[in-house]
Chains A and B, each alone.
Chain A
Amino acid sequence: MSLNGSGGWANGVPSIEARELVKRFGTFVANDHVSLQAYAGKVLAVVGENGAGKSTLMNMLSGLLQPDDGEIRLNGRPVRFKSPRDGIEAGIGMVHQHFMLIPPLTVAENVVLGHEPSKGFFDRPAAERKVAELSEAFGLKLDPRHRVQSLSVGLQQRVEILKILYWGSEILIFDEPTAVLTPQETRELFVVLRGLSQQGKTIIFITHKLKEVMEISDHITVLRAGKVVGQLETASTSAQEIASKMIGRDVLPEVHKEPPSFGELALVVRALSIQSDLETMAVRNIDLEIRAGEILGIAGVEGNGQSELVDTLIGLRPASSGTVELRGKSLLVGSSGLKTAPARIREAGVACVPEDRRERGLVLQYTVADNLILGMQDDALFSQAGVLNRGKIRAWAQTLVKQFDVRPRRSDVPVGTLSGGNQQKVVLAREFSENPDLLIAAQPTRGLDIGAAQFVHERLVEKRDTGTAILLVSAELDEIFALSDRIAVIYEGQIMGVFPASSVNEEEVGLLMTGGSTHAAEQSIDLSAPALTQGT
Chain B
Amino acid sequence: MSAFSDSGLWTTLANASLYQSTLREATPLSLAAVGAVISERSGVVNIAMEGMMLTGAFFAVFADVHLHNAALGLVAAMAAGGIMAGIHGYSAVWLRANQIVSGMAINLLALGLTSYLAFSVYGTNGPPVPCVPPVPCSGNQVRTIPDWSIPGLNGIPGIGKVFFQQNPIFYLMLVLVILIQIFLFRTTLGLRVRAAGEHPRAADTAGIHVLRLRFLSVLPSGILSGLAGGYLALAISGTFSDNMTSGRGFIALAAMIFGKWNPFGAFGACLLFGFGQALYDNLQNTTGPLQDYSTLVATLPYVLTIVALAGFIGKAVPPAADGIPYDPASNA
In the complex, chain A residues whose CB is within 8 Å of the CB of B205: 62, 64, 84, 94, 96, 100
In the complex, chain A residues whose CB is within 8 Å of the CB of B209: 83, 85
In the complex, chain A residues whose CB is within 8 Å of the CB of B328: 64, 83
In the complex, chain B residues whose CB is within 8 Å of the CB of A96: 205
In the complex, chain B residues whose CB is within 8 Å of the CB of A115: 206-207
Choose one: B186, B198, B331; the contact of A25 (CB below 8 Å). B331
Query: Given A62-B205, A64-B204, A113-B208, are A101 and B191 neighbors across the interface (CB < 8 Å)?
Result: no
Query: Given A83-B209, A88-B207, are A102 and B329 neighbors across the interface (CB < 8 Å)?
Result: no
Asked whether B201 is an interface residue with its Cβ less than 8 Å from the other chain, the reply is yes
Asked whether B199 is an interface residue with its Cβ less than 8 Å from the other chain, the reply is yes
In the complex, chain A residues whose CB is within 8 Å of the CB of B276: none
In the complex, chain A residues whose CB is within 8 Å of the CB of B202: 99-102, 110, 113
Asked whether B85 is an interface residue with its Cβ less than 8 Å from the other chain, the reply is no
In the complex, chain A residues whose CB is within 8 Å of the CB of B192: 113-114
Asked whether B190 is an interface residue with its Cβ less than 8 Å from the other chain, the reply is yes
Query: Given A85-B209, A114-B208, are A100 and B194 neighbors across the interface (CB < 8 Å)?
Result: no
Query: Given A114-B208, A163-B206, are A102 and B187 neighbors across the interface (CB < 8 Å)?
Result: no
In the complex, chain B residues whose CB is within 8 Å of the CB of A110: 202
Distance between A161 CB and nearest chain B CB, rounded to angstroms: 14
Asked whether A532 is an interface residue with its Cβ less than 8 Å from the other chain, the reply is no
Distance between B305 CB and nearest chain A CB, rounded to angstroms: 24
Cβ A102 vs Cβ B186 within 8 A: no
B-contacting residues, A65-107, CB 8 Å: 65-66, 83-85, 88-89, 94, 96, 99-105
Query: Given A25-B331, A103-B198, are A114 and B206 neighbors across the interface (CB < 8 Å)?
Result: yes
Asked whether A11 is an interface residue with its Cβ less than 8 Å from the other chain, the reply is no
Cβ A30 vs Cβ B195 within 8 A: no
In the complex, chain B residues whose CB is within 8 Å of the CB of A99: 202
**Closest partner residue, chain B, to A88 (CB atom):** B207
Asked whether B203 is an interface residue with its Cβ less than 8 Å from the other chain, the reply is yes
Cβ B207 vs Cβ A114 within 8 A: yes
**Closest partner residue, chain A, to B320 (CB atom):** A103
Asked whether A109 is an interface residue with its Cβ less than 8 Å from the other chain, the reply is yes
Query: Given A113-B192, A114-B206, A122-B186, are A102 and B331 neighbors across the interface (CB < 8 Å)?
Result: no
Choose one: A66, A102, A163; the contact of B195 (CB below 8 Å). A102
Choose one: B187, B191, B331; the contact of A113 (CB below 8 Å). B191
Asked whether B188 is an interface residue with its Cβ less than 8 Å from the other chain, the reply is yes
**Closest partner residue, chain B, to A66 (CB atom):** B329
Complex Cα distance, B206 from A89, in Å, reads: 11
Complex Cα distance, B204 from A65, in Å, reads: 11
**Closest partner residue, chain A, to B329 (CB atom):** A65
**Closest partner residue, chain A, to B183 (CB atom):** A121
Cβ B188 vs Cβ A118 within 8 A: yes
Distance between B95 CB and nearest chain A CB, rounded to angstroms: 19
Query: Given A30-B331, A83-B328, A122-B191, are A102 and B207 neighbors across the interface (CB < 8 Å)?
Result: no
Complex Cα distance, B202 from A94, in Å, reads: 11
Asked whether A59 is an interface residue with its Cβ less than 8 Å from the other chain, the reply is yes
Asked whether A116 is an interface residue with its Cβ less than 8 Å from the other chain, the reply is yes
Cβ A84 vs Cβ B207 within 8 A: yes
Distance between B319 CB and nearest chain A CB, rounded to angstroms: 9
**Closest partner residue, chain A, to B197 (CB atom):** A102
Closest 3 CB pairs of A and B: A114-B206, A100-B202, A116-B188
